Chain A
Amino acid sequence: MNETPLTRNINPEKGPTDLIAYEANGGYQAVRQSIGKVDPKEVLNTIKESNLRGRGGAGFPTGMKWSFVPDASDSGHRYLVANADEMEPGTFKDRLLMEFDPHQLVEGMILSAYTISADTGYIFIRHEYHAAIKRLREAIQTAEDNNYLGKNIQGSEFSFKLHVHVSAGRYICGEETALLNSLEGKRAIPRAKPPFPQVSGLWGRPTIVNNVETLCNIPHILANGADWFKSLGLGDDAGTKLYGASGRVNKPGCWELPIGTTGREIIEQHAGGMINGYKLRGFLPGGASTDFLIDEHLDLPMDYDSIMKAGSRMGTGTMIILDDKTCPVGMVANLEKFFARESCGFCTPCREGLPWVKELLDAIEAGEGQPGDIETLQRQAQFIGAIGNTHCAHAPGAIEPLTSGLKYFRDDFEAHIKDKKCRYTQEPGQ
């Protein structure tokens, strides 16, 4: 049996893990051992050595990110923000962690804040995660009551105040700088980088924004060491990963597996394979904003570099599966509708370009596509899709299923235009 540090306390049938159960299973041990006892620089080194990479989608090395926070040269605030605005379609891994083991995130944040000398933290959480919001608030209260949070934590000099901030509900808030603007009460528009949040983040102060799953790994790395963490991964990447699968599989769900597990193992073993009568046509490996892969990629390890080499991104590691009875044009149209709607409206290619794409796709799907539409889609995809063409990564991510859809399922697009109808009977989402 593989080690599952992140989900070891999680049993949805039993409900959330309370403080007693959490502590009984070694919880807050890392806090007691580290805060005020280990030099934050040493903690940072451990995280760097562990090769933990951000679990929010970009896979940026966490230790390196933290090391960009300037040394505390003034007395001003420094912030740690947990990005819990899990709005990526098909992704529900952070929800699992927060709903059933809220103290794990709290502990991860205490340790991370200690490392970067943050005095205030926010959990920026998706509006719809009612249960998680409630349970996190309870966990924070309990942690405060037990001096894991608040002033002089465990008798040390370190103080840390943690707040839960419920998002007003925009996909773009998952972009860390849009998140910061939203947290400040401003329009959720991404900021230009540089300056990076590590230097000028929340209210202009040094800030680290990390994904929930990333932060949940911290207590385990500190408790068990960097080498232990590295040993958990199957390939170059370290640790475990929460993988998920949705679509027409027998057992859609979310599993903690060694990072680098293959797509085939996830689908066939953990998700119970495709439902009878359906064949796998392709899959978005890490949420809606990643490129389609197809069956020939199933044996690739699901880690950052392997998936990148195959032309997609590991993203959140929660795959959406396209079967042979669902129209790929309809699926892409549905996704682009979402992304066009969730554009913040700041930069031109995203704001204007995505709705045009969405309109063309809707027309094609409805049998009203015109010759030349595919070329227009390709031109728009190129215009919108390259990093640097847009203000943030929303539009390039949004366009990935379209670009790869046109690559793998071009016949379907052409057939829709030629036949002036969709040959699939299955509506997406049914």
Chain B
Amino acid sequence: MTVIQVDGQEYEVESGANLLEALLSAGLDVPYFCWHPAMGSVGACRQCAVVQYANEEDTQGRIIMSCMTPVTDNARFSVATESATGFRESVIENLMLNHPHDCPVCEEGGECHLQDMTVMVGHHDRRYTGKKRTHKNQYLGPLIGHEMNRCITCYRCVRFYQDYAGGSDLSAFSSRDRVYFGRAEDGVLENEFAGNLVDVCPTGVFTDKTLSKHYTRKWDLQSAPTICVGCAQGCNTYTSERYGEVRRVNNRFQKDVNGYFLCDRGRFGAGFVNSSKRIKQAGIRGEDGLYQAVSLVDAIARIRDMIAGSQHVVGIGSARASLESNQALKNLVGEDNYCNGMADIEREMHSVIVDVLKSDIATPGMREVEDYDAILVLGEDITNHAPRLALSVRQATRNRASEMAAETRLALWQDAAVRELAQNSLSPLMIATPTEDRLDDVATLSTRLSPADIARLGFAIADRLRGNPQSGSDAFKATVDAVTQMLTDAKKPLIISGTSTSNPDILRSAANVAAALKESNKDTGVCLCASECNSIGVALLDNQNSLPALLASSPDTVIVLENDLISAMTTALQQQLASIKNLVVLDHLDNATASMSSLILPAATFAEAEGTYVNSEGRAQRSLAVFSPGHLGAASQIDASYHLLDAIAEKTRTSSEVRAEMVAQSPHLEKVISAAPSEDFSVHGSKVARMSHRASGRTAMLADVSVHEPQQPIDADSAMSFSMEGVQQQAPASLRAFTWSPEWNSNQSILKFQETVAGRDRFGESGALLLDKSQPAMVYDSTVQHTGGLIPQHHIFGSEELTCHAEELASLMPQLYIKMNSHAAKQLGVTTTDGLAYQAEAQTLEFQVVIEESIPDDCLVYPLIPQTRCLTGLTDAPLARIDNWEPPAAPVAAQLITTDRAN
């Protein structure tokens, strides 16, 4: 630690930090713009100026930028002296010369860092009387709005987009007071993390269009801490609601998981909650084949009758449903009649992941991934399947830069200087995937192999690490040698794989590489990316029973929990399901399985129900309900699946009672309880409020229905209230609805909840790692069993079942294509202008042929989107060339620049 003196008071601060970080960590308010806790310092905005004194005699001191000044023992500073405050006020005054002061119509208003900093420095008079510079705004796609006139040129956007996220289509243009941040031409921002621009921009240049379309001020939103259901990484989010609609999702800092950033699927994918396809009513299929809306009571009674009249009742769970809902189903149908809803191949893959999670090999979270100095990716399309992890991998490649900086005694927070020093020097990243990878630009070695060959590569590397003799072609052996060398040269090697190619052999090979490295005493880590937001949770809950086996056991009633089985099934299984007498479905959205049901119940989404999800690293995290669907006048039937299932079982339980039962039956899940406090938690006897104390309209929102103020809905499941009443701060992170602190209205207020900048939460972390990691690592048989050449290509927008129903993401889904190399095309007798048809029972899929030479021989790659879910698990599919094929016209979306008044 280092002791510094600030305005006569001594502070103990972290050695090696910059002064700004030290001051903020000490709880002092110092304004800043260009510095960012995850992106370091560049000294552009000059806002964090303080005065440094040379010694005790020095009374004048000199202005320094605190973000660019390292703390040294006994250094003397003043934040409060007039020359410092005057300078900081001048910075704001000058920044505001061209700012339009359009706060009343700006989406950022009320949570604007620029507003906060302006108030903080005390600048209130406009002395500049000249004309303001204006810019033309751009269309940046359906997700992000652009209003350049508000820009204060802090350079955070390009530093995030280019330097941190590896994007290339957002740049700083022009110079002097005309610097412009945008694209070379209008168009959809290409980077998968572009949404973070909304967060990193300290003012309203980059705004969330999905919020703008039904805009609500921050203080009027009802919010809750949620877990993203977009993939298995378990990013922490705040989801916010008004008038019964999800209005937006934004980042919730969790230092070990997502830190300060989300991917765009997570940020913009929650729109499915508002989808017109939502099932809002219980329905029973009548004689005429049509559904009849019925009361929940009648529907539940009918299900009880069905069960009573059945010999054999089967419950099919879901990897996208909470642990609580799966547990309630398991309890309803009995352990032997429950399966977790995963196809056999999924079950096989997740059992490997669970084994690895239980083993003594480190299975780092996304923050920790950044510390590994060599990474091997086997088969996993990280960017499209576990997107946020890709951002961490990108940072990990900069460990070489960190080493170089240390050699030059350069502080890591000197962001620009470290990048200039290191230039293109990167830590090794080796990627073996079937298709081109978004991380190829930072990879030392990228190789395109079929899934089977990737597994062979993994097994061969593991063998090579153990010193066993090699076989295979010279090129293959050379790759094995190169990868092995880089892994053995590393101090902390990391192996990443996952389920994106649906090939369990790859996962086993990855586990073997990690085990072999661990044997050679390397500080080894392994990250295996699971399929869905709760795949690991349900695999831990119960991974015994096979879905096809249960369906084949002649059940007369099948209860399907939040799982569109039909879409992802082979025709044979579909027919089996269709022949079942009573098919009861609980789900959010109308889908193929729901359409086949005899009875349907409206299940709450993550936004309406509390639930626990377990991410790829085995971290159980609680997602709180954001709003009660029933609170807007009309009663809603939508309820948490575990409540609906409990009702069938004639039980009324809170979520924590369901969890208690689960833990009693499955003691290895004990820590699920500690992921977040339960409903009996309180702060000074109060619940935790979901709304800000400024939330307005409580009495007016429903005045068109009734002038009487309705009672606020009760949340029996959690320690939070659907109200502005209760404590707002001082709650542990797992119960905090939003970050706000006096004078800190923007997302930067997270500072006030951290023990040190980017550090632990002052009021308690959220989530709990479930597994004690005591088992010795397994070494798997290296036989390659799965050899299909039909490969799903994941897409960040489209491959996840729910988020692709968010309107904006749906518009960004790829068209149907099938990719192959020219050799394969020749064999099929097709060229790029042709179409290929896949004919299944009920539907025909038409694919556009795309020739990409990097695709391995004998591989056909198709996009995993809703229409193609029926191909899941197929290793081969009959494809026929379509004569005189015409590609379908691409849908043309209106390219609205929402901030251009002319539009």
Contact = CB atoms under 8 A, between A and B. Distances in A.
Bind each other: yes
Interface of A: 170, 181, 187-188, 191-192, 194-195, 199-200, 203-204, 340-349, 351-356, 359, 376, 379-380, 383, 386, 388-391
A191 B417 contact: yes
Given A191-B417, A192-B68, A200 B408 contact: yes
A363 B421 CA distance: 45
B9 interface: no
A383 B87 CA distance: 7
15 contacts: A191-B417, A194-B410, A199-B408, A200-B417, A203-B423, A345-B153, A347-B43, A352-B94, A352-B95, A352-B98, A354-B176, A356-B128, A380-B90, A383-B90, A391-B44
Contacts of B177: 340, 343, 345, 351-352, 355
B352 interface: no
Contact of B417 (A192, A342, A391): A192
B46 interface: yes
Interface string B404-433: 100010100010110011110100000000
B43 A192 contact: yes
Contacts of B423: 203-204
Contacts of A349: 46, 90-91, 94
Contact of A388 (B63, B95, B175): B63
A195 B409 CA distance: 9
Given A204-B420, A348-B47, 5 more contacts: A192-B42, A195-B417, A200-B421, A346-B155, A348-B91
Contacts of B179: 345, 351
A348 B417 contact: no
Nearest to A344: B175
A204 B127 CA distance: 43
Interface pairs A-B: 3 shortest CB-CB:
A352-B94, A345-B179, A343-B176
B573 interface: no
Contacts of A341: 176
B46 A195 contact: no
A386 B97 contact: no
A389 B45 CA distance: 10
B127 A348 contact: no
Contacts of A194: 410, 417
Contact of A200 (B68, B174, B410): B410
B64 interface: yes
A345 B417 contact: no
A345 B94 contact: no
For chain B, give the interface size range. 35 or more
Nearest to B90: A383
Contact of B408 (A170, A195, A354): A195
Contacts of A342: 176
A348 B408 contact: no
Nearest to B89: A383
A192 B90 contact: no
A389 B63 contact: yes
Nearest to A343: B176
A181 B423 CA distance: 11
Contacts of B410: 194-195, 200
Most A CB within 10 A of own CB, among B97, B127, B420: B420
Interface of B: 42-47, 49, 62-64, 68, 87, 90-91, 94-95, 97-98, 127-128, 130, 152-153, 155, 172, 174-179, 404, 408, 410, 414, 416-417, 420-423, 425
Contacts of B87: 383, 389
B45 A348 contact: yes
B94 A346 contact: no
Contacts of B68: 192
Nearest to B95: A348
Given A348-B91, A348-B94, A340 B176 contact: yes
Nearest to A203: B423
A356 B421 contact: no
A200 B46 CA distance: 23
B417 A388 contact: no
B176 A386 contact: no
A181 B179 CA distance: 17
A216 to B, nearest CB: 29
A194 B68 CA distance: 10
B412 to A, nearest CB: 13
Nearest to A341: B176
B172 A187 contact: yes
A355 B422 CA distance: 35
B338 to A, nearest CB: 59
Nearest to A186: B420
B174 A345 contact: yes
A377 to B, nearest CB: 12
B46 A192 contact: no
Contacts of A389: 46, 49, 63, 87
Nearest to B65: A388
B125 to A, nearest CB: 12
Most A CB within 10 A of own CB, among B130, B177, B414: B177
Contact of A204 (B172, B174, B175, B422): B422
Contacts of A346: 44, 155
B408 A388 contact: no
B90 A191 contact: no
A135 B49 CA distance: 47
Nearest to B46: A348
B175 A356 contact: no
Nearest to A386: B63
Contacts of B153: 345, 348, 351
A375 B578 CA distance: 84
Given A191-B416, A199-B408, A204-B422, A347 B45 contact: yes
Contacts of A192: 42-43, 68, 414, 416-417
A188 B172 CA distance: 12
A345 B178 contact: yes
Contacts of A343: 175-177
A187 B178 CA distance: 14
B127 A347 contact: no
A87 to B, nearest CB: 14
B94 A347 contact: no
Contacts of A348: 44-47, 91, 94-95, 152-153
B142 to A, nearest CB: 30
Contact of B97 (A170, A181, A356): A356
Contact of B130 (A199, A353, A356, A380): A356
A170 to B, nearest CB: 7
A211 B847 CA distance: 63
A355 B44 contact: no
